[in-house]
């Protein structure tokens, strides 16, 4: 077998349809739709662990108010994005454990609701304000940020988008300098602690702690008691009890955290129908080519 790198999605699709290659792994939505209609080509959809989320800095006077944190979750056009430019590539998911993980839950209580967001902002005594969102230079992320800019504006929040290199944006995020971050997080290993231990765990919130690897720390969030619950869940020996603990942690996280988890990645792969048993590793990226038959 031979693995090769072809930059252009359209070229990959052409090669796949001609039979020059058996598998095309990163086709864009247009080429997926085209390949789906081609004879002898199958499209596989596989859930990945990558999550797309926004988070807000708890050092910020407005963004640290609980009502403002909640309002932001109602200012995301989850369905509009999922059904347009993210179509087939991301699915709505509002929890920090990806589907397929132990303890994963499917509750997605938030939807775009400008009026509800306005009520929450009013109850916090907050008038119109401006914030900066940092985004890495990747097309889908910029499009998500532009959608947020549009919906936030309808509730009186001006979102100024700063697009930069991964190094520049992540550097400021880790230094707790961004008002808001919009980006992705992928799990490092197939256990729930890989995400619980960064989204909902922050034992020392002081600047001196320098715990820049923790997402909760990057947003200056002390987790409101979730740190202790996460510490208990990781050492729990009973699988069912542990799954329940993570469900409870995520329920509280959805309500209180300065994070809005929005989407989970779907990887769409075009393959020749002659190729069988291709498994791309599910939620963690671990491709096994050895079981493949042709």
Q: Where are the alpha helices (DSSP H) in the chain?
A: 9-18, 29-37, 66-73, 78-82, 114-123, 139-153, 166-174, 193-199, 215-218, 226-235, 239-256
Distance CA 91, CA 149 (A): 20
Distance CA 24, CA 189 (A): 25
Conformational region of residue 224, where left means phi above 0, alpha means psi within -120 to 50, and beta covers everything else: left
What's the pLDDT at 283? Answer: 61
pLDDT along the chain (294 residues), means of 10: 81 93 87 92 92 98 98 98 94 97 97 98 97 96 98 98 98 98 96 98 98 98 98 98 98 98 94 84 60 70
Conformational region of residue 291, where left means phi above 0, alpha means psi within -120 to 50, and beta covers everything else: alpha
């Amino acid at each position: 077998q031979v693995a090769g790198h072809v930059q252009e999605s359209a070229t990959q699709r052409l090669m796949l349809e001609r039979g020059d290659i058996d598998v095309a792994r990163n086709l864009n939505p247009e080429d997926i739709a085209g390949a789906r209609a081609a004879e002898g080509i199958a499209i596989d959809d596989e859930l990945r662990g990558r999550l797309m989320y926004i988070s807000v800095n708890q050092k910020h006077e407005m963004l640290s108010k609980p009502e403002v944190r909640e309002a932001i979750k109602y200012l995301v056009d989850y369905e509009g994005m999922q059904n347009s430019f993210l179509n087939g590539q991301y699915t709505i998911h509002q929890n920090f454990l990806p589907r397929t993980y132990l303890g994963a839950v499917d509750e997605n209580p938030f939807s775009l609701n400008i009026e509800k967001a306005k009520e929450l902002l009013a109850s916090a005594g907050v008038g119109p304000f401006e914030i900066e969102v940092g985004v890495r230079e990747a097309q889908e992320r910029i499009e998500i940020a532009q959608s947020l800019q549009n919906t936030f504006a309808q509730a009186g929040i001006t979102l100024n988008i700063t697009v930069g290199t991964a190094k520049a944006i992540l550097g400021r995020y880790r230094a707790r300098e961004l008002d808001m971050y919009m980006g992705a997080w992928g799990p490092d290993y197939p256990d729930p602690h890989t995400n619980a231990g960064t989204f909902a765990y922050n034992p020392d919130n002081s600047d001196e702690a320098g715990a820049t690897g923790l997402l909760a720390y990057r947003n200056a969030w002390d987790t409101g008691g979730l740190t202790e619950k996460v510490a208990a869940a990781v050492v729990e020996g009973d699988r069912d009890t542990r799954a329940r603990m993570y469900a409870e942690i995520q329920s509280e996280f959805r309500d209180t955290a300065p994070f809005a988890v929005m989407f989970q990645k779907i990887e769409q792969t075009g393959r020749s129908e002659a190729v069988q048993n291709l498994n791309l590793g599910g939620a963690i990226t671990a491709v096994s080519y050895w079981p493949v038959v042709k």
